[in-house]
Amino acid sequence: MKILSKIYTALIFIFLYAPIFVLIIFSFNDTDTSSRTQFSGFTLRWYERLFQDRYILEALLNTLIIAVVAAIASTILGTLAAVGINRMKRLPKKIMMNITNFPMVNPEIVTGVSMMLLFVAAVSLFGGRSLGMASLIIAHITFCLPYVILSVLPKLRQMNPNLFEAAQDLGCPPVRAFFKVVLPEIMPGIVTGMIMAFTLSIDDFVISYFTSGTTQTLPIYIYSMTRKRISPEINALSTVLFVCIMVLLIIINVRQARDERRAKKAEKERVV
């Protein structure tokens, strides 16, 4: 039984990570035909080309700017909304939750097309000429919002509602009580929501495709390569991103472990 469960775990990990490893291996493939099936020698030239190719890098920069702004904005808006929704009475709360959940179950393409129509109408109303960065950011904030709300609300529900009142009883003004008492309690939910918003925004293709105007994000750029061939530069780029995220995760974990050890040590010393 134990062996079986180990095999099962191994299989799951292979399914999850095999595509990434194939992608990484082929980023070092020395080919002139951009082959994705035949490995013909080791080279670093796709990495070299990647850093010379300003169109890929511009698209990457656009994607990151949009993701950072959309993640921060939707986290702030979503947290405020969750606090408000949590205080509502039963019926309005239910209605509100259904309204916020609707964009999540709505097919992406419908969201994308409807946003494009809205933005085009708005832009022509205000005399603008083209959609672009601003419309992309607004669209991304919109589709990230429900995910933030959904990850913050449960934390608010778990929280003891008397804590906030207790803080006020002890003379803390409401705003300060919110920052000192409520916010630290729901922080894990906020962080999860923010990470989700960030990754959703980086990944998004369909909605960006319709609302991008004359701005290009990385997924759209990659997709436009399909008439010729997707260049191994994209493999190189994905490898760089994968390694960056790995390193960041490792740093976070190491720091957390160190903090925990320190806290334990301090406690022990206090006991002694």
Binding site for another protein (CB under 8 A): 31-38, 45, 48-49, 51-55, 57-58, 60-61, 64-65, 68, 71-72, 116, 119-120, 123-124, 129-131, 135, 187-188, 190-191, 194-195, 198, 210-211, 213-216, 220-221, 223-231, 244, 248, 252
The nearest distance, CB 240 to another protein, in angstroms, is: 8
Helix (H) or strand (E) holding 32: none
φ, ψ of residue 36 to 5 degrees: the values are -110, 10
Place of tokens 């920069």: 61
**Which CB atom, from 96 or from 120, has the smaller least distance to another protein?**
120
- State the helix-helix crossing angle for 232-271 and 45-52, rounded to 10 degrees: 90
In angstroms, rounded to a whole number, what is the distance separating the alpha carbons of residues 58 and 54? 6
Contact indicator for 208, 73 with CB cutoff of 8 Å: no
The nearest distance, CB 7 to another protein, in angstroms, is: 30
Residue type, 182: V
Residue type, 118: L
Place of tokens 């925990």: 260
Place of tokens 């923010």: 194
Contact indicator for 196, 183 with CB cutoff of 8 Å: no
**Which CB atom, from 85 or from 123, has the smaller least distance to another protein?**
123
In angstroms, rounded to a whole number, what is the distance separating the alpha carbons of residues 30 and 111? 42
The nearest distance, CB 84 to another protein, in angstroms, is: 20
Helices (H) and strands (E) in the chain, counts: 12, 0
The nearest distance, CB 220 to another protein, in angstroms, is: 8
**Which CB atom, from 9 or from 124, has the smaller least distance to another protein?**
124
**Which CB atom, from 83 or from 120, has the smaller least distance to another protein?**
120
DSSP per residue over 201-243, as a string?
HHH--HHHHHH-TT---HHHHHHGGGGS---HHHHHHHHHHHH
The nearest distance, CB 262 to another protein, in angstroms, is: 16
**Which CB atom, from 72 or from 96, has the smaller least distance to another protein?**
72
The nearest distance, CB 123 to another protein, in angstroms, is: 6
The nearest distance, CB 147 to another protein, in angstroms, is: 16
Strand, coil or helix: what is 159?
Answer: coil
**Which CB atom, from 77 or from 120, has the smaller least distance to another protein?**
120
Residue among 130, 148, 142 nearest 83 (CA):
148
**Which CB atom, from 168 or from 192, has the smaller least distance to another protein?**
192
